Amino acid sequence: MLLLVGLGNPGARYAGNRHNIGFMAVQEIAKRHGIGPWRRRFQGLACEGPIGGERALLLLPGTFMNESGRAVAAAAHFYKLPLPNITVFHDEIDLPPAKVRVKIGGGIAGHNGLRSISEHIGNDYRRVRIGVGHPGNRDAVQHYVLSDFAKSERDWVEALLATLADNAGLIARGEDASFQNKVHLAMVAKGFGAQSADDNGDTA
């Protein structure tokens, strides 16, 4: 069993926030792979189905962001999952918009959702870091991530969510570098993702 977790805050008022792009990514994966219905489980919403030939549980924690670890731990302990079987999709302000990097373990860069998960289950799980850009001022970060994507950003957000979902089978099979590479190339082909190619394939 694999566990794919989307990070965000529950409720309609947060649904379009930059901080909720992890939720959006996992919801799109479920939609594209015909997985459902969502049910209340593990202190959140979950659904189960095959991705890339692997059995996967998709989870949207129903706690707020800073308590995400409670829901992740509940699912991980129920299925007795090792940390390499857990992938967390989350917003990353230290990456430019539309850039995606895959990382196992490492720091949390001030992300409260990751902090909570690491406190509950340990640190060596996979993270799919989804770039949302930085407001340029540390004092503006909270307002920035808790604000909705601007209308001018919606095209790349929709393109990226579709691209992540289309290539989710690679993550399910542990092909992190291929996943990152294919997402990069697909976004460039769609006219987004101006990230430099030499970053591509770096999963550290």
At a CB cut-off of 8 Å and minimum separation 6, what does 68 contact? 5, 7, 61, 112, 113, 116, 117
Q: Evaluate whether 68 touches 7 at the Cβ level (below 8 Å).
A: yes
Q: Widest CA span of the chain, in angstroms?
A: 44
Distance (Å) of CA 22 to CA 78, 88, 196: 22, 8, 23
CA distance linking residue 177 with residue 182, whole number of Å? 9
Helix (H) or strand (E) holding 92: strand 86-92
Q: What's the topology of domain 2-199?
A: Rossmann fold (3.40.50)
Euclidean distance between the first and final Cα of the chain, in Å? Answer: 24
Among residues 19, 33, 111, 184, the one annotated as catalytic is: 19
pLDDT tens per residue, range 32-48:
999 999 999 999 999 99
- Listed as ranges, residues in the chain with pLDDT below 70 are 193-204
- Decide if 19 is catalytic: yes
pTM of the model: 0.92
Q: Evaluate whether 94 touches 118 at the Cβ level (below 8 Å).
A: no
Sheet strand arrangement including 39-41: 39-41, 44-51, 54-61, 2-6, 86-92, 126-131, 100-104
pLDDT tens per residue, range 86-126:
999 999 999 999 999 999 998 887 899 999 999 999 999 99
